[in-house]
Structure 1
Amino acid sequence: MKNIIVLISFLFFITNCKEQKTQSLNLNKEKLNKNFIEERDTVTFIKEKPQNKDFSFIDSMTPLKLPIGNKSLIEYEFPKEWNFGSPYDSKRKVSNDEKKINRLLGFYEGYKSEKYKVSKREIKSLSFFLNVENDYRNITINFEKIFEYSIARFPNKNDSVQVLGLWFSKERLNPDKEFPFSVSYGELIVIKGNKIIDQITLNHFEGNYSLGGDYRLSYIDNDYIIHTKDFNYGENQGYFIRYEKWKIKNNGKIVRFFNQQDTILNEGEVKNHLKSGNWKDLYLDRNLAYKNKKWGIENLYSYSEGEYNQGEKIGEWKFYSYKNNTKGELLYTETYKDGELVERVFIK
C-alpha cells in the first residue's frame, strides 16, 4: 500500500521532503534538502499584458472576514512522517496524533458555502479566471468540462486591490482504473484595475480518495499572511512536505514571506521579511513537465540563479538541470521587467 502512495506522489510532483525546518542548500551534500524546494508556477507561457475584464460582479458579494481557514493547521506541528497502522484493525490503539491528523487531513476541504456556489453559465467560465490554455493542469484536466465551481470574495488588500477565491474539482480522471485519480483546487486571485495581477494555489488534492495523495491546505491570518502546508497522506500513513508563508503586496503581487523566527536560507538574503538580492533557488519544476506534456519526467528539479527585489524577481533568471545534487546544463531562461515575467525561452 505504501508503494502505491509513493507512486501517486511521483505522478503529481510533490517532493518527498521530510524536514519541517528549512536548511541551507549545499550542492556538495550527499543528500538533497528537499524542503528547500519550491514549486514552480502552474502556468507556463510568455506572459502577455493582463487583459481588462469585467469584475463588477464582485461588488455585489459580501467579503469574508479574516482569519480564513483552520488555525489548528498552523498551530499543530506535524511529524516528519507517520504510520498509524491499518485503519481496518479494530484492536489497535488510536493515538492523539492520529486523531489530530485525521481531523485536519481526512479529506479535501475548501470554503464552499452554497451562497457562493455558481454555475459557469451564470457568471463566467473558468477561462475567465485562469489561463487554462497554458495552465500545467491542462495536461490532464479539460477545463471546459468543469461546469460548476465555487467563488467567494476575500477582504480587499487595499482600496485598489481586490481578492477573490475560486474552487473547482474534477472527479475520476481515469474512470477505467480500479482506483481513479481525482483533483480539487482552491485558488486565490488578486485583481487590480479589472486585471488579474497574480494568483496562488491555496488548496489542492491530487490523488485517489481511497488510497490518498498529495494535499495542500491553507490558513489566512488576521494580518493577511497566507500560510500553506503540503502533505502526502493516505490510509493512516503519510509525510509532511513543506510549510510556507506568502504576502500580498500593495501592488497585488504575491511573494514569499519570512518571519524573524524562521530559519532563513543562506542561499540568499532576506530584507523586511522578503527575498532580496542574488538568490539560488531549487524548484520542483512543472515547467519542464509541461514542455514535454507529461506528468512524469526523469528529472523534476531545476536549479535557478537570479535576483530578487522586495520579493519579486527582476532581470534574467537562469534555470539548470539538477541531478545527484549537482547543477547541470542550462535548460531555460526567464526575463522579468517591472516585476512581470515577459519571456521564457527553453534552451533544451
Structure 2
Amino acid sequence: MIILVGLGIELSPAHVMYTGPLLTAMPALAALTLGPLATLSAAAGALAVTVTSATLHRSWEDGQTYSNILGLLVVSVASITMSNAVRTRRESEFKQVRRIAVAAQEVILRPVPARLGPVRAASMYLAAEAGARIGGDLYDAVPTRYGVRMIVGDVRGKGLPAVRAAAVVLGAFREAVHYEDDLVQVMNHCAAALRREGAVADSAGPGQEGGDRKDGAEDLAESFVTALLVEVPDTHLVHVVNRGHLPPLRLHRGRAQELVPACPLPPLGLEDFITLPPAEPESYAFEPGDRLLLHTDGVNEARDADNRFFPLTEIAESVRMSCTPPEFLEELHLELIRHTGGSLGDDVAMLVVDRLGDEAEAGARAAGAPSTHRQP
C-alpha cells in the first residue's frame, strides 16, 4: 500500500516531494510481519518505483538517486536476512513444541494394547484444532485382577486447564483400578482427585506458587468432567458406572444398543451442588462376539453442512462385525470425515473392545496372557 502511495506521488504533480526514505524503509517494514519472499517483493516494488521516478523525472544525474538505490539494497539484504532468521527460529520452536506435545500425549493418552485379557481393543483420538495433539478428552484401558477396566471422559472447557483436569482424572483412575474392587469407588477416587486439584488451583493467587497461572487455575477450579467407567470381567457381562457421560454403544449380532443408565448421575466436580444418590454398577450382557464402543460427544454431535448430527448408531451397525477393532475405528473415522467435510467441531476420543470367545481367551492364557480372575 505504501509503495502504491509512493508511486502515486511520483506520477502526480506532487512528485517534488522526497519519497526516497519512505521507499527505502519498505523492506524493513515488510520483514516485521512477512516472510522472506514477501520482503523481497516489497524491496523489488520499492526499487521499481525508484527507477520509474528517476526515469520519468530524469534525475539519474542526481547522486541522490544512486544513494537511494544503494540504501534500498542494503536495507533489503538486511531485512531478508533478518526475516529468514526469524522464520527459522520460529520453525525450530514450533517443532520443539510439537515434540513436547507428542511426549505429553503419550503420557496422558497411552496407546491401548491390542489384546487385554478377554477382549481385543483399539483407541483413537482426533483433535478438532489443526496441529493439536492433546485436549480435554480422555481414555484408558487397564487389565486388572478384577477384569479389564476402561475409562472415557470429557472435560468441560479447552486449553491447558482441560489437559490438567484430564491428567488428574486419568492418574487417579490408573491408581485406583488395581486395588478397589468396587467400580463406584474407582469413580469416587477420580472425583476426589479432581476436587483436590481444583481446591489447590482455586487457592493459587498472586505471590503464591502457581500464581502466575491464575486464570488457568480459576478455570481448573471450575471444571467438571463427564466420565464413564466400564469393567469387563471373565463372565459374559459388562459393568458400567456413568457420571454424566454419553452411554456406551453395544453391538450384538450387528444391532446397536445404547446402555443408558437407569439412574443418571452428575459429572465429576459437581458433587457440591447435587446430592448424589447411592450408586451401584449397572450390568449388561456382553457375550462372545459382541462389541462395545465408548466415545465422547465429538462423535455423535459432529454436524454436516446441513447441520445434521452424525448418525453414529446407523453407521456402527453398517460396519461389518468381522472387522478388527482398529478397522472398525478407521471406518468410523472415514465416515466422520465424510460427514463433516473434514472439519471436526470438537475433539473426538473413541475406545472399542470386542469380547472374545472362551476358547480364544483360554488359548491366550496358555500363551502367557495375564488372567483377569479376581483374587481374594
Structure 1 or 2: larger helix share?
A: 2
| TM-score, structure 2 normalization | 0.25
Greater percentage in strand: 1
TM-score, with length taken from structure 1 = 0.26
Question: Could you say which structure has the greater relative contact order, defined with CA pairs below 8 angstroms and 6 or more residues apart?
Answer: 1
